[in-house]
Amino acid sequence: MTIPQTKPEQSGTGPAWSIRRLFPVVLGLAVALSAGLWFFLPVALDAGREKTSPPAKEVETGGLWFDDATAEAGIGFQHFDSATARHLIHETLGSGIAWIDYDADGWPDLFCVQSAPIEGKRPANLTSKLYRNRGDGTFEDVSEAAGLSKVGFGMGAAVGDCDNDGFPDLLVTYLGELVLYHNQPAQDGKRCLVDIAGKAGLKNPHWGTSAAWGDVDGDGDLDLYVCNYCEVDPKKYPVCQEPRTQVAMCCPPSHFPAVSHKLFRNNGNLTFTDVSVESGITAPPPAPGLAVVLVDLDLDGKLDIYVANDMKPAYLFHNQGAGRFVEKALVSGCALGLDGSLVAGMGIAIGDVDGTGLPSVFVTNFEKKPNILFLNRGKLDFRESSMRSGLGGPSIPFLKFGTEFLDADLDGNLDAVVANGHIHRAARKFTDNDYPQKAQIFRGLGSAKFVDVSARSGAYFSTPKVGRGIAMADYNRDGLPDLAFSNVGDGVKLLRNTTRTPNAGISLDLIPQGSSAPCNAVGARVVAKTGESKKTAFVVGGGSYLSGSEQRIMLGLGSASQLDALHVIWPSGRRQDLSGTSLKTGAAFRIREGSPAEAFQSPKGRSKDK
């Protein structure tokens, strides 16, 4: 009975026979396809996920989120890598970036410091770059129009309106010289930057690194502090080898004499006087300085100077008034790291991380050593709290440079970001580290506690780079702090903050009396109250590493819809109570000393709303 039904199959003709004969092949193909899908699909999905916004899970687990907006913004700066076969120490430091609203249109523009060959001919195209913020998320390269033609071994940049004309000026440190770009009107009605360092009397024939502006003598104009690294003669450069493996490497700064740093007093007429000796800043032994911040650490109304030195104790120049300083870092407990160990101080961030209303100091450090957090207990008493804060442990494997505190999700707790990257190209030969390293971002939990959320904060924090500078600004005016990173031999990266948060904050541009630029409010302090919560923020000069952030206060206020009280303590000492005014969160205000707050440049829609 069944024979007729099987006949066609036995005969080997017809479609059924073909299908059955092909069965093993089809089965094999199916298995292979399934295996392929099983293997590749998650990878493909994962890759897609990195390029887009954070999945819900990331937000739930406390990640912050930053998208790389460099290309869409039109920032094309490429850092020149000065690497040589001689492993000169100069090759290690990179150069910085600074946010400067050079045309005073309320939108921060980005200045990128360029490096150059250490010796020999320097190509004319290696100029620093200025990118003008168009206000629509894009930038235009205005370097040439602004007059930036200087080529040199550039290091750091600091922004300050040194003549109080409302247009920020720019100090750039170079190996062997300083450049002071005075912001002047150009013939086409726009602005240009003209180097007046020589006329202004700003001389520093040393290796200047980070610099900071601030009115340290209280006379109403910005003075200038310049860190110097060490004195190196490339013609007499020693050969250095890693002690254990004998691999050739760049010599450490301990091989070279350090030189005292510089303090220039602003004479008020676009000239400066070198007051390094009489101010007392040359009193302590010289040390290789890499970062400086001007901040009133003991809230006595006078700007102090904190300097991170490389493999030497940090300086804390306590302002005695009348332009005199006494160095007190060691006795204050903020000069050395864990158990008195030396810190290779690279970058500095300042913030009230524990709700005491006092500025604590965070210093980045060398590999295999933790970043150091000095909690401010008042009256220049600092407590080293690196490991217990959560900022120390996860940082140990990395070699750390630029850093900033920011409230990325506006929850009222400061977060911290750090740029990492080794100094030795052949690092892998003698450490377990690579030359490029991933940057890190730590979410603040309040009470000086942090958790490393780098793995869930966007692709940039998973991509190794030779990171150096970090500068923060709200470049798209959406109320969230954004970041720019400088990297050795690589492009500057612009990261747009796209953290999805229900929180709101308030942005404040402070303009002290006698000035019309927010960058001159260095030393001002803001105390904001919402319900039981009190937040304190500081306008500081300098900070990070070779870089300058926008000096706009961005206070995260959580779910509050309005500020209950706002006090501004100005550099002049005036205390201004703005509690009566309606200061709604999610808005930006400009506050001139002694005047009511004016709504200014309200934040545009957040990324989540777009």
217: left (phi over 0), alpha (psi -120 to 50) or beta: alpha
Q: Which residues sit opposite 274 in a β-bridge? A: 264
- According to the binding rule CB under 8 A, does residue 434 interact with another protein? no
13 contact partners, CB below 8 Å, separation of at least 6: none
Nearer to another protein, 339 or 532 (CB): 339
- Subset of residues 233 to 252 that bind another protein, contact rule: CB under 8 A: 238, 240, 243, 251-252
Nearer to another protein, 65 or 174 (CB): 174
> Cβ atoms within 10 A of the Cβ of 475, count?
27
**Cα torsion at 144, 147, 149, 154 (round to 10°)?**
-110
Helix (H, G, I), strand (E, B) or coil at 448: coil
Do residues 579 and 566 touch, judged by C-beta distance below 8 A?
yes
Nearer to another protein, 134 or 388 (CB): 388
- According to the binding rule CB under 8 A, does residue 258 interact with another protein? yes
- According to the binding rule CB under 8 A, does residue 605 interact with another protein? no
Closest distance to another protein from the beta carbon of 435 (Å): 14
- Subset of residues 368 to 407 that bind another protein, contact rule: CB under 8 A: 370, 381, 383, 385, 387-388, 392-397
Closest distance to another protein from the beta carbon of 338 (Å): 8
CA-nearest of 439, 512, 480 to 588 is: 480
Look up residue 508 and give its DSSP letter.
E
Q: Which of 34, 273, 341, 462 binds another protein (CB under 8 A)?
A: 341
- Subset of residues 302 to 331 that bind another protein, contact rule: CB under 8 A: 311, 313, 330-331
Nearer to another protein, 34 or 241 (CB): 241
Question: Which tokens sit at 72?
Answer: 């869409």
- According to the binding rule CB under 8 A, does residue 559 interact with another protein? no
Q: x/- string (CB under 8 A) for another protein, residues 159-198?
A: ----------------------------------------
Question: Which tokens sit at 383?
Answer: 């407590």
- Subset of residues 46 to 85 that bind another protein, contact rule: CB under 8 A: none
Whole-angstrom CA distances from 66 to 79, 388, 455, 456, 540 are 22, 27, 12, 10, 24
Question: Which tokens sit at 510?
Answer: 């402070």
Nearer to another protein, 332 or 544 (CB): 332
Q: Which of 15, 24, 120, 580 binds another protein (CB under 8 A)?
A: 24
Instruction: Report residue 277: phi and psi, to 5°.
Output: -75, -55
55: left (phi over 0), alpha (psi -120 to 50) or beta: beta
Nearer to another protein, 159 or 375 (CB): 375
- According to the binding rule CB under 8 A, does residue 256 interact with another protein? yes
Sign of CA dihedral 205, 206, 210, 216: negative
- According to the binding rule CB under 8 A, does residue 428 interact with another protein? yes
d(CA 547, CA 416) in angstroms, rounded, equals 16
Nearer to another protein, 33 or 186 (CB): 33
d(CA 187, CA 505) in angstroms, rounded, equals 40
178 contact partners, CB below 8 Å, separation of at least 6: 171, 172, 197, 202, 203, 204, 208, 211, 226
Closest distance to another protein from the beta carbon of 92 (Å): 14
- Subset of residues 278 to 297 that bind another protein, contact rule: CB under 8 A: 282, 285-286
- Subset of residues 201 to 240 that bind another protein, contact rule: CB under 8 A: 205, 231, 238, 240
- According to the binding rule CB under 8 A, does residue 15 interact with another protein? no
Binding site for another protein (CB under 8 A): 2, 6, 9-10, 12, 17, 20-21, 23-24, 205, 231, 238, 240, 243, 251-252, 254-260, 276-277, 282, 285-286, 311, 313, 330-333, 335-336, 338-342, 370, 381, 383, 385, 387-388, 392-397, 428, 431-432
